[in-house]
Structure 1
Amino acid sequence: MKQLLFASTATIATAGIAAAESGINLSGYGRFGIGYLEDRQNTTLTTTTANGTVNQFTADSDEAILISRFRLNIDGFTETDGGVRFEGRVRLQADEDSDTGEANDAGLNGARFSVIYGGLRVDAGNVAGSFDNLDDYFGTEPGLEEFLGQYSGVNYSFLEYESTGSGDNAVFFQYTVGDFAVSASYDQNTIFANNGTGATTDRDRWDVSAAYTFNNITASLVYGETDEGDGVEKESLTVFTLGAEFNDFYGTLFLADDDVADDDENGTAYGFSVAYNLGAATTLQLVYGDGSADNDTRNIGVGAIYDLGAGATLRGAVGEVKDGDDDGRIQADFGVWFNF
């Protein structure tokens, strides 16, 4: 990814001694195109007049809308003479309203802070947990909006990096040695009752993972648990993934066990994803995800990426999204993605 660097302290080598380096990196991507969703839901809008009268009305949503995203990562960093790197990140992002297709304002998210030394990384603030940091959890996600996933049958809410919100104030660590990596995260999220006027509950949420790569295959196991206090059932998620890369082929197998409060969402989630480079700058993608519970979501679809060079691609996908016993809905998109 091409990055723009503003160096506040240049690297200086004098008599074999190098000064510490610090600066700011800017990176990100933009995407825009057309998105289609069969029977896109109508949206209820609320307006307030000058005299305080609140009015609500239903706006018809088109099945085909203009989709877009602009994402800018702002990374500040410094590295000590001893090789310890400190980083901080905020993200500026603007998306369309997925219901109406209208543009939303851009906004900054919560900050993430990192300490990196050798194979150890520690993040604090708006962080991604062990599930969110596992590439093979997501596999290949077809579409300009990456709207299809092998993980669609999962209903557990794990710790995620928030691109458009403050995120959860949590910690994450990862240690890599050779082909083996372990990670863990912890989030003590305070829940306020009655819009902040009632009692509070400390929700303990944590996860751990281990991954091992042998030749071109990576096996990963992740477990996470959430405890919201006395009288509330604990929730948990166990995920096993197997990812493989061979020349122009990338594929993943996904298996998970969901244990959540809603019995209609408990059960096994499973899926797979495949990406294959056909040559001539074209990559084909295939994904399937489902679950054994009554209210699980099923995803199935195909996509394609055409490389235009210089970090720009044409992308699109078509698939079916089905929630529980509801009728499946066709979803598709197509457009341009460019990295910077």
Structure 2
Amino acid sequence: MKNVLLASTALVLTAGLAAAEINFGGSARLGVVYDSTPGATDELAIHNRFTLNIDGSTETDSGIEFFARVRVRGGNEGTGATSSSGVSAPRVGLSVSGVTVAVGNITGAIEETPGLYDGAVGLTGLGDLNVVALSDFDSFSSNGGGDNGVEVIYGNGNFGTHLSYSPVTENAALNASYAFGDWTVAAAYQDSDNAADDTWLVTAGGSFGNYRVGAAYGDTDGVSKVRVNGSATFGAGTTVTAFIADDESAAETIWGLGFTHSLGGATLAGGVVGDEDGENQADLGVRFSF
């Protein structure tokens, strides 16, 4: 009789929570990084990083989904003292009929512009030199307080748009994108209380067969940057990616070359870049998701 009562209680609790979920997922990576910049803390260093996303959601009887996310992240690089993991501030919001509203540790409209990070190379991204936005822009903080703003995201078929504002950074940003077939075009604009962070940019990219190409142009307070990128996939899971960028404020042409190779459950990745000062950074290692 006791087992029957326990089973009945479990069924009642399960039924009451049928529309509520909490999910855990994340990623990790390990490898080595190299930096030729004079004065760099470590020319060759060990690198590792761990990320855990904790997502909770529930849906009302009327079909409104409420959600929340916090992130745990930690990592170390170099030969100095180790650092502890941190927990991010939350991003909390709701979604209904293709509209998402979120507050707190927002993702930001510039950060989420399709094509912004196209051409990324290496295990770590190697400084994101492929990004054409030269300003500070709002983005989700993985182990800090974030920008404590508000954002509205809308998607309808092939069209998407994202509006964000933070009273902390005083950045107001908007992006819009359209996908047709295997191609996507996007544009974004940010108006900031700090004129040096006023930014607009356009991106375009697509794929055909085993190849992908893209281009982006950005202007930050009158300083322009342009990037072209391409990648090719060979065999069962090897991809080679390259980009070249011209920043009119930089002394040297910026470039990057990298590869990824599927290990069946993990990915071997590496790359090398030439930065705006003609110095080189490189990395090599393995990353995986769980």
TM-score, normalised to structure 2, is 0.88
For residue 208 of structure 1, what is the aligned residue in structure 2? 174
Change (3 A) 1:205 1:9: farther
Q: Which runs of 5+ in 2 are unaligned?
A: 1-11
Cα pair distance change 1:26/1:297, threshold 3 Å? farther
Secondary structure of the residue aligned to 2:115 is helix
Q: How much has 1:85 moved relative to structure 2?
A: 1.1
The residue that corresponds to 1:31 in the other structure is: 29
CA RMSD, 1 decimal = 2.3
What is the aligned counterpart of 1:331 among 273, 281, 284? 281
Contact 1:148 1:301 in 2 (8 A): no
Tell me the distance in 2 between the aligned counterparts of 1:162 and 1:225: 21
Q: Determine the C-alpha separation between the residues in 2 that align with 1:96 and 1:298.
A: 30
Correspondence for 1:45:
none
Q: Quote the residue 1:144 is aligned against.
A: 123
1:88 to 68, 76, 91: 68
Alignment of 1:53-72 (within 5 A): 61-72=41-52
**Aligned residue pair count:** 279
Aligned counterpart for 1:313 among listed residues 253, 267, 273? 267
Tell me, in whole angstroms, the C-alpha distance in 2 between the residues paired with 1:155 and 1:241. 15
Q: 1:297 to 1:166 in 2, by over 3 A?
A: farther
Match 1:258 to one of 215, 220, 223: 220
Structure 2 counterpart of 1:30, one-letter code: A
User: How far off its partner does 1:276 sit?
Assistant: 1.8
C-alpha contact (below 8 Å) 2:230/2:243 kept by paired residues: yes
Residue 124 of structure 1 and its aligned partner are, at CA, apart by 0.7
How far off its partner does 1:101 sit?
Answer: 5.5
What amino acid maps onto 2:144 in structure 1?
Answer: G
* Structure with the higher fraction of residues in helix conformation: 2
Q: Shift in Å at residue 257 of structure 1?
A: 1.1
Tell me the CA shift for residue 279 of structure 1.
1.6
The one-letter code of the counterpart of 1:287 is F
Instruction: Report the equivalent of 1:75.
Output: 55
Unaligned 5+ runs, structure 1: 1-7, 13-17, 43-60, 190-202, 260-265
Q: 1:66 to 1:23 in 2, by over 3 A?
A: same
Task: Indicate yes or no: 2:278 matched with 1:299.
Answer: no
2:27 and 2:33 map into 1 onto residues whose CA distance is: 18
| Counterpart Cα distance in 2 of 1:212 and 1:296 | 35
After TM superposition, give the deviation of residue 157 of structure 1 in Å: 1.0
What amino acid is aligned across from residue 215 of structure 2 in structure 1? L
SS at match of 2:155: strand
Alpha-carbon spacing, 1:150–1:276, altered in 2? closer, same or farther (3 Å): farther
**Alpha carbons of structure 1 residues 188 and 24: separation in structure 2 relative to 1, 3 Å:** same
Alpha-carbon contact 1:88-1:114 (below 8 Å) kept:
yes
Greater per-residue strand proportion: 1
2:211 aligned with 1:246: no
2: CA distance, partners of 1:151 / 1:285: 11
> In the alignment, which residue of structure 1 is the partner of 2:134?
155
Identity across aligned pairs (percent)?
29
C-alpha separation in 1, matches of 2:53 and 2:83: 18
Change (3 A) 1:38 1:317: same
Spell out, residue by residue over 1:50-73, the C-alpha distance to the aligned partner (whole angstroms, 9 max, x if none). xxxxxxxxxxx3311001100000
Normalization by structure 1: what TM-score? 0.76
> Partners of 2:128 and 2:80 in 1: how far apart?
22
Cα distance change, pair 167–287 in 1 and its aligned pair in 2 (3 A): same
What residue in structure 2 maps to residue 289 of structure 1? 245
